[in-house]
């Protein structure tokens, strides 16, 4: 089995930041509502410990992040002023939003900073050089600071200039959020308290195949839900109605099932499912055995019997990692399976790790996020770690013990 992190990386606690100019790559890629306001600020709140740590040591804090997908051009509704305002309110301290992330005006603003000051650079992805990881752009960002801190777990699977380019020019360490995220996933993958269960859901097997291939050698129980259950059911010869089946993944799914049997891993598929003609609110639903899905119907959620089975199995686990909902939880008629899994994990006497993305959205929607051991801020990065692969943004940081 591959180690997620070959060597421990230096953290913000292991470097002298007092009075220094510190460039912090944060993840402020928050959801916006139809009016362009911040709909949910979990990622902003998650950055506060690192920012406060630096301010308490009179560092001059230069924050940078992306927001949305502006495709390398300025998009007014994706400016980071609204993030700066929210940060300022949360910190009780001014956060100055700059109108660009590189250039003479930015350099002048940074030169005028005093200890404890905070500025937020403009959306990095207004510049196409960010996503292209162009060295000249990374060097311009690095020239603003004396130290680089990566606190953007949610962006650390990206090979972008602000993630992997800047560390080539500055001492580079992990922030407190990144340290916690990496530590949590490393512990559950390498030394979990057992029984260890993984709950994997979502729409497509192809999105989670590498996770399944890695996790099957580590867990005691593997629970499959969501639309991807259709491909597992089809691999066993069952009809799946109008549910999407990834026919090119059937052999891979059979191999996962065979590995589970060989390793003594308990593999649970839903015994019943909620089906509907379309995945829309107000559509009539039925609960049917998973092996008897009617023609013209699609899997929208796990059924109550499956929710009972999954809850019973999870209740005896001591470590659970969950990535991917059990159904289309955004629609009330299809939310019960996901809610049931979230509820049992919220009351589990053990370690519960929520693997980012839509799973994080779900536990927050049900008001259960605070009852989980760890709710990840990064969907793609969490998938990369659960797949057993190193994160480029972490690998770019200085190894612990280096001068």
- C-beta separation of 232 from 255 below 8 A: no
For residues 290 and 234, the answer to whether their CB atoms sit within 8 Å is no
Chain centroid to CA 172: 22
**Which of 165, 357, 379, 393 is labelled catalytic?**
357
% of the chain surpassing 90 pLDDT:
96
Active-site annotation holds for 204: yes
DSSP-based three-state secondary structure for 345:
helix
List the one residue out of 69, 74, 82 whose CA is nearest residue 38. Answer: 82
Out of 10, 20, 43, 218, the active site residue is 43
Cis before 195? omega within 30: yes
Q: Which residue has the tokens 């591959």?
A: 2
CATH 3.40.50.1260 boundaries in the chain = 12-177, 184-386
Q: Which of 52, 99, 132, 204 is the catalytic position?
A: 204
What CATH number belongs to 184-386?
A: 3.40.50.1260
| Pick from 111, 115, 38: nearest CA to 77 | 38
Helix (H, G, I), strand (E, B) or coil at 399: strand
pLDDT tens-place string over residues 21-39: 999 999 999 999 999 999 9
Tell me, yes or no, if 43 is annotated catalytic. Answer: yes
Whose tokens are 């770019």? That residue is 396
Angle of CA points 242, 245, 250, to nearest 5° = 150
CATH number for 12-177 (one of 3.30.70.100, 3.40.50.1260, 3.30.420.270, 3.60.21.10): it is 3.40.50.1260
Listed residue (41, 15, 17, 384) closest to 181, CA to CA: 384
The per-residue pLDDT for range 240-296, each reduced to its tens digit, is 999 999 999 999 999 999 999 999 999 999 999 999 999 999 999 999 999 999 999
Full-model pTM: 0.93
**DSSP class of residue 252?**
H
Q: CA–CA separation, 223 vs 195, rounded Å? A: 13
Predicted local confidence at residue 28, as pLDDT:
98
Q: Tell me the C-alpha distance between 228 and 5, whole Å.
A: 29
């Amino acid at each position: 089995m591959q180690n997620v992190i070959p060597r421990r990386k230096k953290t913000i606690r292991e470097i002298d930041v007092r009075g220094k100019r510190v460039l912090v790559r944060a993840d402020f890629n928050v959801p916006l509502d139809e009016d362009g306001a911040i709909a949910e600020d979990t990622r902003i709140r998650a950055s506060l410990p690192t920012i406060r740590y630096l301010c308490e040591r009179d560092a001059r804090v230069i924050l940078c992040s992306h927001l949305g997908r502006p495709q390398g051009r300025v998009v007014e509704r994706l400016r980071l002023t609204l993030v700066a305002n929210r940060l300022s309110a949360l910190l009780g301290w001014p956060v100055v939003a700059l109108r660009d992330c590189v250039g003479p005006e930015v350099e002048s603003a940074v030169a005028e900073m005093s200890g404890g000051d905070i500025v937020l650079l403009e959306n990095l992805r207004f510049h196409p050089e960010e996503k292209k990881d162009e060295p000249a752009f990374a060097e311009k960002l690095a020239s603003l600071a004396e130290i680089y801190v990566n606190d953007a777990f949610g962006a650390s699977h990206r090979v972008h200039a602000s993630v992997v380019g800047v560390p080539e020019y500055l001492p580079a360490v992990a922030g407190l959020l990144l340290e916690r995220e990496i530590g949590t996933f490393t512990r559950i993958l390498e030394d979990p308290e057992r029984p260890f269960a993984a709950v994997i859901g979502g729409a497509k097997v192809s999105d989670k195949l590498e996770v399944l291939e890695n996790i099957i050698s580590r867990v005691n129980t593997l629970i499959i839900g969501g639309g991807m259950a259709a491909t597992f059911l089809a691999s066993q010869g069952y009809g799946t109605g109008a549910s999407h089946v990834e026919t090119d993944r059937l052999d891979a799914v059979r191999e996962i099932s065979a590995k589970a049997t060989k390793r003594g891993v308990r593999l649970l598929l839903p015994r019943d499912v909620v089906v509907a003609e379309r995945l829309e609110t107000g559509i009539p639903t039925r609960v049917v055995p998973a092996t008897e899905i009617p023609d013209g119907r699609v899997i929208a959620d796990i059924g109550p019997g499956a929710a009972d089975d999954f809850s019973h199995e999870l209740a005896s686990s001591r470590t659970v990692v969950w990535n991917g909902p059990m159904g289309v939880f955004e629609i009330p008629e299809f939310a019960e399976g996901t809610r049931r899994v979230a509820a049992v994990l919220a009351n589990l006497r053990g370690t519960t790790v929520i693997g980012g993305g839509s799973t994080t959205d779900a536990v927050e929607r049900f008001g259960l996020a605070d009852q989980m051991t760890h709710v990840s801020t990064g969907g793609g990065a969490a998938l990369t770690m659960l797949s057993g692969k190193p994160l480029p943004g972490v690998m770019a940081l200085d190894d612990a013990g280096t001068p």
